[in-house]
Chain A
């Protein structure tokens, strides 16, 4: 089966590379290669690229949505499972980043309703590095503040902290960009004590 892909589909190489979103999007048209590999192998290559590039933000997201490390790992796998299944339907016109964040937040939000009955007593946010630095304390304070937010505010805050613009956040959440901006300014006020602590 002949298919066109945007990266050489060498999985081993792809997995070892951590690509930024921009690299993923920019490289696609310029590095098109025709390969006679199975569609599955091609998908795996793309999937490996996506996972390498987005593992960190998705793990950060999981840390605020799931309580215990096991739940976090479960959520992480759920998200990438949904990404893997949605990958064949991905349209190249869309931004990879917003497409992936849509899936990630949808999985995290809908999973919440399934998991509400199973509350862990573990305090996951305390499991930081052995010798915490100043930055670790601030990050912990930020994580706690985010974890205490209502799901809607939490979603907006996470997307904002990951560097998405109001328009991109609208794309991911379906909330109008103007409303996003207003709500974010309110959230910023709540996060102000952490900001001023620097």
Chain B
């Protein structure tokens, strides 16, 4: 470093903000956040597991003991849909974890995070397709109700199913768009860095 550069560095380092803050408090704050985030993640996973553990056996039982082949087929499709949704959620969380900043160089980090965001965006924007077995199964239950029970019940089931499917599709499209925007910003950042 030349004298001028040393002087600039000295100006920069003359700011010692650490003196203004208590390190012990900062450590506690970081460790508290770590615990809180770990708890939140654990709670999310437990909730998903409990939902799957409660839903899957019921749907599988219905698929095995349904009154007609149509009902059994419908519940079997719903079971497949629920399993796919569970797997997709697990994948999404794993990719989110992998995208977190770590001790690699900035270029590799930005590339990795952008790659993970691409994967996540693709996963969420196609959710209406891969989750379709669950909704088609529900719609088939509606078809059985239409044939065997009342039209009103069938229409209610179809309406709820269509609304759920549409809401999921729109919600995940919005999430996908947000992830894509982030990826584009990261790529722009990568270009600026290079």
Interface positions of A (Cβ within 8 A of B): 15, 18, 44, 47-48, 51-52, 55-56, 59-60, 63, 76-77, 80-82, 84-86, 89-90, 94, 99, 102-103, 105-107, 109-110, 112-114, 116, 135, 138-139, 142, 150-152, 155, 160-163, 170-175, 188, 191, 194-195, 198
Contact partners of B186 in chain A: CB under 8 A: 110, 113
Binds A, one of B79-87, B96-104, B125-133, B144-152: B96-104
Q: B residues within 8 Å of A by Cβ?
A: 1, 4-5, 7-9, 11-19, 21, 23-24, 26-27, 29-31, 33-34, 37, 100-110, 113, 182, 185-186, 189, 192-194
CB pair B193–A90 under 8 Å, yes or no, is: no
Given the interface pairs A114-B182, A150-B192, A175-B193, the reply to whether A194 lies near B105 with Cβ below 8 Å is: no
What would be 17 A-B contacts, judged by CB atoms less than 8 Å apart? A51-B23, A51-B26, A55-B21, A59-B21, A63-B17, A80-B27, A81-B34, A81-B37, A82-B100, A110-B101, A110-B110, A113-B189, A138-B11, A152-B194, A161-B9, A174-B107, A188-B4
**Contacts known (A59-B18, A152-B192); A102 close to B103, Cβ less than 8 A:** yes
In the complex with contacts A76-B26, A113-B186, A139-B15, A151-B101 CB distance below 8 A: no
Query: In the complex the two chains form, is A47's CB within 8 Å of B12's CB?
Result: no
How far is A76 from B104 in the complex, measured between Cα atoms in Å? 19
When C-beta atoms are compared, the residue in chain B nearest to A156 turns out to be: B193
Whether A52 touches B23, Cβ cut-off 8 Å, given contacts A90-B103, A155-B106, A174-B108, is: yes
Chain B interface SS verdict (over half):
helix
Task: Tell me the nearest residue of chain A to B6, going by C-beta.
Answer: A163
The smallest C-beta distance from A36 to any residue of chain B, in angstroms, reads 22
Contact of A82 among B14, B102, B193 (CB under 8 A): B102
Closest CB of chain A to B72's CB: distance in Å?
46
- Whether A106 pairs with B107 at a CB distance below 8 angstroms is no
Contact partner, A15, options B12, B24, B193, Cβ 8 Å: B24
| Residue in contact with B18 in the complex, picked from A55, A82, A139, A195, CB distance below 8 Å | A55
**Shortest distance from the beta carbon of B56 to any chain A beta carbon, whole Å:** 32
Q: A102-B106, A107-B101, A173-B193 are in contact. List 19 more A-B contacts (CB 8 A).
A: A48-B23, A55-B17, A55-B26, A56-B16, A60-B12, A80-B26, A89-B103, A90-B103, A103-B103, A106-B104, A106-B106, A109-B101, A109-B193, A139-B11, A139-B14, A142-B12, A152-B193, A152-B194, A174-B108
